[in-house]
């Protein structure tokens, strides 16, 4: 290559370096833009008001995104299954809510916008203390010891009223006089943008932490703890630092929790909240950075929206969880990313027809399942509560066999057809994979 040509080569490489950052990062900007603009989609222009429900839902999604991502720092990135992650969220929340009360009483001066710093500090300090103990173990023993410590802390939260406020928890007012921007945060939209800002900061930081030595070595220790030792690293310390960092962000999520709900009870610290983190992260996908974000959004949606329609939203989440454990352990993100080779080879369209063949029967099966669950719930719990089952304002008689038979038929029929179609789909998928791989090597 002649000198001028070499120069051009270098210049090309330099000029593509800057835009690459933007080119690689544009999906994040799109998501951020959507998050900023979405509430306005639900703005009631006649009354000049935001939808309180939507704002509350999106605020919750924001803090759950931070919580789930922090959980994945342990689960997906370090291979640590924790049953006590809510400790850090809860303690972060408790410390923040006490700080809020202190600000209100004039005993502490801190801008409202910086409250999550308190939560983060509480989270990281406790993660250091507790993490030092629990990271002596890994694998199943780690899961067990986090379960034990989690139970201890949540029981303490019920017992010791001084700090934890007992069963009633601790409340505070987020309308405080120390806002940097002079905002009152009584309006839902202001709370949402505050949460969104901190969510964005937390996501960005956690993303960067996957690109630093400790993040990479956490992955390495997850894959092969022994080999990590033989490149000079103490896996126990790697686990410890990773847990400490994950506690930091869980604490920030806890602070957002306190600001959002203006109350923190032992619900924020107990096993159910820890299980929530596990569910969101796993369903979303542990192998991809943004997987837990998808999971947090989806589970929060199911929790807030479906729970309005049905008492059994937990059954649906649980079933989804089991189905994913068996058939899609990579979660939703894993499923999406599995299509990447096809997208890159521009063969994705070959899957449209197969999907059209398999999705409808699957939906029918889901419909049948939902029907059966609702009938069952209504017949037992619902009748206790005197509620009748309604479908599009049409009351359904749960004692007659009609509804049951229809639901069961939908479920069975849907399952059978789905099962047949899934075999066809699998064949198409593997053929397509082979073709794509061949095409790639030919290039």
> Between vectors from CA 26 to CA 20 and to CA 29, what angle results, nearest 5°?
140
Site string for other proteins, 181-210 (x = CB under 8 A): ---------------------------xx-
Among 35, 26, 304, residue whose Cα is nearest residue 193: 35
- Shorter beta-carbon distance to other proteins: residue 59 or 146: 146
Burial class (CB within 10 angstroms; exposed 0-12, middle 13-18, buried 19+) of 42: middle
Q: How many binding residues for other proteins (CB under 8 A)? A: 68
Site membership for other proteins, residue 160 (CB under 8 A): yes
Find out whether 356 and 285 touch, Cβ atoms under 8 Å: no
Six-digit token string for 330 = 């990579």
Find residue 390's DSSP bridge partners. Answer: 395
Stretch of 46-54, 91-99, 136-144, 191-199 lying at the interface with other proteins (CB under 8 A) = 136-144
Cβ atoms of 421 and 358 within 8 Å: the answer is: yes
Q: Which of 319, 422, 428, 433 binds other proteins (CB under 8 A)?
A: 319
CB 104 within 8 A of CB 185: no
> Among residues 342, 134, 120, which one has the least CA distance to residue 246?
120
Q: Give the one residue of 220, 345, 348, 362 binding other proteins; rule: CB under 8 A.
A: 220
Minimal distance in Å, beta carbon 224 to other proteins? 5
Going from the C-alpha of 377 to that of each of 303, 309, 381, 391, the distances in angstroms are 17, 12, 5, 14
Query: Is 168 a binder of other proteins (CB under 8 A)?
Result: no
Contact 425, 358 (CB under 8 A): yes
User: For helices 235-261 and 86-104, what crossing angle results, to 10°?
Assistant: 40
With binding defined as CB under 8 A, does residue 133 bind other proteins? yes
Q: Which stretch binds other proteins (CB under 8 A): 44-52, 170-178, 271-279, 422-430?
A: 271-279
Give bridge partners of residue 264 from the DSSP assignment.
170
437 part of the interface to other proteins, by CB under 8 A? no
Looking only at residues 359 through 378 of this chain, which bind other proteins when binding is defined by CB under 8 A?
373, 376-377
Pair of tokens at residue 316: 């649906």
Q: Which C-beta is closer to other proteins: that of 132 or that of 305?
A: 132
Q: Does 42 bind other proteins (CB under 8 A)?
A: no
Among 162, 182, 386, 401, binds other proteins (CB under 8 A): 162
- Distance between CA atoms of residues 63 and 296, nearest Å: 9
Alpha helices, DSSP H only, in 42-160?
52-78, 86-104, 115-134, 139-159
Residue 315 makes contact with other proteins by CB under 8 A: yes
Q: Which two tokens stand for residue 11?
A: 């210049």
By CB under 8 A, tell whether 388 contacts other proteins: no
Maximum alpha-carbon separation in the chain: 87
215 binds other proteins, rule: CB under 8 A: yes
In whole angstroms, how close is the CB of 52 to other proteins at the nearest point? 30
341/420 Cα distance (integer angstroms): 25
Q: Does 217 bind other proteins (CB under 8 A)?
A: yes
The DSSP string of 167-181 is: GG-EE-----TT-TT
| 309 sits near other proteins (criterion: CB under 8 A) | no
| Cβ pair 249, 277 in contact under 8 A | no
The answer to whether 111 contacts other proteins (rule: CB under 8 A) is no
* 216 touches other proteins (CB under 8 A): yes
- Closest Cα partner for 297 from 43, 30, 35? 35
Q: Residue 59 or residue 270: which is nearer to other proteins going by CB?
A: 270
Interface residue with other proteins among 228, 280, 332, 358 (CB under 8 A) is 228
The piece of 1-9, 157-165, 171-179, 392-400 that touches other proteins (CB under 8 A) is 157-165
Using the rule CB under 8 A, which residue among 148, 168, 177, 184 binds other proteins?
148
Q: Which of 351, 390, 349 is nearest to 371 (CA)?
A: 390
Q: Please state the closest distance from residue 258 (CB atom) to other proteins, in A.
A: 22
> Binding of other proteins at residue 129 (CB under 8 A)?
no
Distance CA 261, CA 86 (A): 16
x-marked contacts with other proteins along 320-349 as a string, rule CB under 8 A = -xx--xx--x--------------------
Q: How many CA atoms lie within 13 A of 417 on its CB side?
A: 16
Closest approach of Cβ 384 to other proteins, in Å? Answer: 6
Chosen residue from 110, 144, 263, 336 binding other proteins by CB under 8 A:
144
- Asked whether position 3 contacts other proteins by CB under 8 A, the answer is no
91 touching other proteins, by CB under 8 A: no
List interacting residues with other proteins (CB under 8 A).
81, 133, 136-137, 139-141, 143-145, 147-149, 151-152, 155, 159-162, 208-209, 211-217, 219-220, 222-224, 226-235, 237-238, 241, 245, 271, 275, 278, 282, 312, 314-315, 318-319, 321-322, 325-326, 329, 373, 376-377, 380-381, 384
């Amino acid at each position: 290559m002649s000198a001028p040509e070499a120069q051009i080569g270098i210049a090309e490489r330099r000029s593509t370096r800057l835009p690459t950052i933007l080119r690689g990062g544009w999906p994040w900007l799109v998501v951020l833009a959507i998050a900023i603009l979405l509430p306005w989609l639900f703005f009631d222009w006649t009354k000049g008001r935001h939808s309180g429900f939507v704002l509350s839902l999106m605020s919750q999604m924001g803090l759950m995104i931070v919580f789930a991502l922090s959980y994945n720092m342990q689960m997906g990135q370090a291979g640590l299954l924790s049953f006590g992650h809510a400790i850090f969220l809860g303690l972060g929340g408790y410390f923040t809510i006490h700080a809020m009360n202190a600000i209100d009483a004039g005993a502490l001066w801190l801008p409202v916008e910086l409250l999550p710093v308190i939560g983060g500090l509480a989270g990281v300090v406790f993660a250091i203390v507790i993490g030092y103990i629990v990271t002596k173990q890994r694998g199943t023993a780690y899961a067990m010891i986090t379960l034990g410590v989690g139970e201890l802390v949540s029981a303490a939260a019920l017992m010791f009223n001084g700090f934890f406020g007992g069963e009633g928890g601790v409340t505070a007012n987020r309308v405080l006089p120390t806002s940097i921007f002079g905002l009152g945060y009584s309006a839902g939209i202001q709370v949402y943008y505050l949460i969104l800002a901190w969510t964005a900061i937390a996501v960005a930081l956690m993303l960067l932490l996957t690109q630093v030595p400790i993040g990479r070595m956490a992955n390495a220790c997850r894959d092969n703890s022994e080999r990590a030792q033989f490149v000079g690293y103490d896996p126990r310390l790697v686990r410890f630092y990773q847990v400490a960092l994950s506690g930091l962000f869980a604490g920030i999520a806890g602070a957002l929790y306190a600001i959002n709900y203006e109350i923190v009870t032992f619900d924020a610290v107990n096993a159910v909240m820890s299980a929530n983190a596990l569910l969101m992260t796993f369903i979303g996908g542990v192998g991809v950075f943004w997987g837990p974000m998808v999971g947090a959004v989806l589970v929060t949606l199911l929790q807030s929206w479906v729970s309005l329609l049905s008492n059994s939203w937990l059954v649906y989440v649980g079933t989804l969880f089991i189905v994913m454990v068996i058939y899609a352990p990579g979660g939703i993100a894993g499923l999406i990313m599995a299509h990447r080779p096809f997208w890159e080879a521009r063969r994705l369209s070959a899957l449209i027809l197969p999907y059209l063949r398999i999705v409808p029967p699957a939906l029918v099966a889901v419909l049948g399942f939902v029907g059966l669950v609702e009938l069952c719930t209504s017949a037992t719990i619902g009748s206790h509560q005197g509620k009748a089952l309604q479908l599009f304002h049409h009351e359904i008689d749960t004692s007659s066999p009609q509804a049951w038979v229809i639901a069961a038929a939908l479920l069975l029929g849907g399952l059978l057809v789905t099962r047949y179609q899934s075999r066809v789909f699998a064949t198409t998928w593997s053929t397509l994979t082979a073709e794509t791989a061949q095409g790639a090597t030919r290039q």
